[in-house]
Structure 1
């Protein structure tokens, strides 16, 4: 097993920029990028598209799949960045089963900023004020010991630079 690989989770509620920032971090590191949304079951996607929030049972298999992906890359000694909401601490704990030394970037944003971003989306299955409010109610923000927390009002370039600088200091 090769534990020199860096496994990174970019987390936050929908609209925080997880996928954009995650891709940019992966490019900067020469790592693989995975969007957790691509690993939802068709039933979960349909549920969210109807405006129904996912519950813990809906997320269970999805989180295990993501944990397995972290484990796969870690065992191969390959860096990977996964963008995933990971709203609750226990969800992040499931992900750590595949990557015990998981590095987390939490993208913080106000409800107003998030709502503005979501309303600009045209093709994503997750839209709407009700869905955002459900995620905000579910969110258990990580503390500074668990994650590097950065405000989305910084430019994507600044977020990536700040994250990588803090990651390298750890």
Structure 2
């Protein structure tokens, strides 16, 4: 993690909420996530790292493709009663394929990057009211993909 972030011990269990409620073609066999925070109050910044491993690379690719296709047209949504807007975001090529999305909701911005790596969808995201940095997302996503790939070949 970048300097100053500490592990967030609060409940960070993932929900099954998808962008514009699209239907996922496959369910991940393994899902893990961890969140980190820095600062507090209005200057608080969050980072979330997650891995979703599917039964095969084909299932992971189909799941990534469905999400990417949805984000081509999905611009507005509702989550927990709040209006949310999405916009695709540039990211460097990471893993087999990658994409980024900017998520704006009620005065806060979240930036999330996704990378497809064999049977796994790797994701990193950051959020904050005052600041959210796409360079942090891209850097962390690249590092997570490298670490996952190294561990998968051991």
The TM-score normalised by the length of structure 1 is 0.27
Whose RCO is larger (CA < 8 A, sep 6+)? 1
Larger strand proportion of the pair: 2
Larger helix proportion of the pair: 1
